[in-house]
């Protein structure tokens, strides 16, 4: 039964395997890192050889790079009780490993004997029982037809920032970016496109992210605005987006990514260069890199139909990443009586979706937010939409921060104070 799996490139993999054997490790297997990453990221079990190698493994040694150390790979290791041992020699590798809660990467430049002993030590170290971890990267997706992706992304980011969390809000929409316009931020600055270019060069770190981002103000949210012209979409390639989001995961407590609607992958028919840029690469890379996907649909017949047609593509792109389905702009006028029940039954019947969250239509709050170019929670803190988003975040993404008062609790305290007013306040009124 395999105990140590090396998902490393050659010649390091063979050399380290030989040294591990000299140190007494008799059960060692080599797995091609590219093949393992591709199969795990696609949401399928590895093929027979990889599955046999991972069966009963105690440790999985990988390079701490965005190509191999991914959220699906870490989730796979957690589910099967495999301890991941990252290798890396630079600061980016350390930040990536820390983002997934892993130990400090071992330097691959160590003498082979020292590296082998460090791997064996990491394999035998006690592994704490995994607990429910809050997602660090959250992709907000929705089908065509403007179901409210940007509004939901901004609201989720604002809510996550409560309690002192640092949140990065990223506009990765390569078709119609809208975060800068919605928040009154200049879209001529560096933004996410520069973050992608810097990540490709290996020059994206916390200082650089702080420099190119724009603070939202009022909450600890830093915004990486999107491209200011759709023609710039080739700047958001899959490799660049993946690397940039990995850096954001180490920089902020949570990263909320606003994506485009299109998930089509068969674009080779319009390109003679198979390795050339793909129009929807940014969305596909963001969904694949996310720890949680928030799927938004509009509460009307057209919105539900568009969502059901695109949902299989989303599941294929997300793999095993959890998807939280949010029905936005709920109202009875477009669906009829029992709007919640009708939408629930439709989603369950045609897509087997049983867990659904609803956000009410709040035209007054969203209009005020658009007019002021601010989040809804700032201009209309008592909005029913804000309360609904708070419930989704508290139940699906993170538990309430210490000191947070849920809307229902706040209303209950108001009612109690009205029933039993303080004597001092009563005398003052007289």
74 and 82 Cβ atoms separated by less than 8 Å? no
167 and 160 Cβ atoms separated by less than 8 Å? yes
> In degrees rounded to 5, what are phi and psi of residue 264?
-65, 140
Predicted model pTM = 0.66
Q: How many residues does the chain have?
A: 430
DSSP secondary structure, 360-380, as one string: E--HHHHHHHHHHTS-HHHH-
191 and 271 Cβ atoms separated by less than 8 Å? no
In our burial notation (b when 16+ CB lie closer than 10 A, e otherwise), range 100-124 reads bebeebbebeeebeebbeebbebbe
> In Å, how far from its chain's centre is CA 146?
21
240 and 196 Cβ atoms separated by less than 8 Å? yes
Q: The tokens 């395999």 sit on which residue?
A: 2
* pLDDT value at residue 297: 97
DSSP summary character for residue 106: B
Token code pair at residue 125: 């170290």
Q: Mean pLDDT in the chain?
A: 82
**Strands of 59-63's sheet in order across:** 28-30, 4-7, 59-63, 83-87
DSSP secondary structure, 43-84, as one string: TS---HHHHHHHTT-SEEEEESSTTTS-HHHHHHHHHTTPEE
Closest alpha carbon to 319 in 131, 51, 71, 7: 71
Average pLDDT of the segment spanning 165-180 = 96
Q: The tokens 């393992």 sit on which residue?
A: 36
Which segment, 52-61, 118-127, 148-157, is predicted with the most confidence on average? 148-157
Average pLDDT of the segment spanning 238-258 = 95
pLDDT bucket at 425, cuts 50 / 70 / 90:
very low
* pLDDT value at residue 41: 53
pLDDT bucket at 63, cuts 50 / 70 / 90:
confident
Higher-scoring residue by pLDDT: 106, 300:
300
Identify any residues that bridge with 29 across adjacent strands, giving them in sequence order.
Answer: 5
Percentage of the chain lying above the pLDDT 90 cut: 51
In our burial notation (b when 16+ CB lie closer than 10 A, e otherwise), range 19-37 reads bbeeeebeebbbbebeebb
* pLDDT value at residue 413: 37
Distance from C-alpha of 258 to C-alpha of 425, rounded to nearest angstrom: 47
pLDDT bucket at 124, cuts 50 / 70 / 90:
low
Give every CB contact of residue 350 below 8 A, 6+ residues apart in sequence: 308
Distance from C-alpha of 376 to C-alpha of 135, rounded to nearest angstrom: 23
Token code pair at residue 154: 């901004």
pLDDT above 60: residue 275: no
Token code pair at residue 303: 């919105």
CA dihedral 399→259→375→230, nearest 10 degrees, is: 160
**CATH architecture of the domain formed by 137-412:** 3-Layer(aba) Sandwich (3.40)
**CATH architecture of the domain formed by 4-124:** 3-Layer(aba) Sandwich (3.40)
Closest alpha carbon to 83 in 96, 98, 73: 73
393 and 157 Cβ atoms separated by less than 8 Å? no
Q: Where in the chain are the domains? A: 4-124, 137-412
The HSE-up count of residue 6 (CA atoms within 13 Å, CB side) is 24
């Amino acid at each position: 039964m395999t105990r140590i799996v090396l998902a490393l490139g050659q010649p390091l993999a063979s050399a380290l395997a030989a040294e591990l054997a000299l140190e007494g490790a008799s059960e060692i297997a080599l797995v091609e890192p590219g093949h393992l990453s591709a199969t795990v990221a696609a949401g399928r079990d590895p093929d027979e050889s990889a599955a046999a190698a991972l069966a009963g493994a105690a440790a999985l040694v990988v390079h701490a790079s965005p190509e191999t150390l991914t959220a699906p790979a870490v989730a796979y290791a957690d589910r099967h009780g495999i301890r991941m041992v990252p290798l890396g020699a630079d600061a980016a590798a350390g930040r990536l490993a820390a983002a997934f809660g892993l130990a400090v990467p071992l330097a691959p430049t160590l003498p082979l004997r020292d590296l082998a002993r460090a791997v064996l030590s990491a394999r035998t170290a006690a592994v704490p029982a995994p607990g429910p971890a809050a997602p660090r990267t959250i992709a907000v997706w929705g089908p065509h037809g403007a179901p409210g992706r940007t509004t939901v992304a901004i609201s989720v980011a604002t809510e996550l920032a409560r309690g002192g969390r640092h949140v990065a809000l990223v506009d990765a929409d390569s078709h119609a970016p809208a975060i800068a316009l919605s928040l009154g931020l200049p879209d001529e600055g560096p933004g996410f496109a520069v973050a992608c270019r810097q990540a490709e060069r290996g020059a994206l770190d916390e200082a650089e992210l702080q420099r190119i981002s724009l603070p939202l103000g009022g909450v600890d949210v830093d915004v990486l605005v999107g491209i200011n012209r759709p023609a710039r979409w080739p700047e958001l390639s899959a490799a660049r987006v993946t690397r940039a989001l990995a850096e954001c995961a180490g920089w902020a407590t949570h990263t909320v990514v606003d994506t485009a609607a299109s998930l089509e992958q068969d674009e080779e028919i319009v390109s003679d260069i198979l390795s050339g840029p793909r129009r929807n690469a940014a969305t596909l890379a963001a969904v694949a890199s996310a720890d949680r996907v928030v799927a938004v649909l509009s509460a009307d017949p057209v919105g539900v139909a568009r969502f059901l047609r695109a949902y299989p593509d989303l599941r294929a792109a997300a793999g095993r990443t959890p998807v939280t389905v949010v029905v936005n702009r709920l109202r009875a006028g477009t669906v009829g009586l029992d709007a919640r029940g009708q939408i629930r039954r439709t989603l369950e019947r045609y897509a087997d979706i049983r867990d659904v969250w609803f956000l009410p239509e709040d035209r007054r709050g969203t209009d005020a937010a658009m007019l002021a170019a601010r989040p809804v929670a700032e201009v209309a803190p008592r909005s029913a939409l804000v309360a609904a988003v708070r419930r989704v975040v508290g139940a699906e993404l993170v538990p309430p921060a210490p000191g947070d008062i849920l809307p229902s609790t706040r209303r209950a305290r108001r009612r109690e104070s009205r029933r039993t007013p303080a004597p001092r306040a009563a005398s003052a009124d007289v």
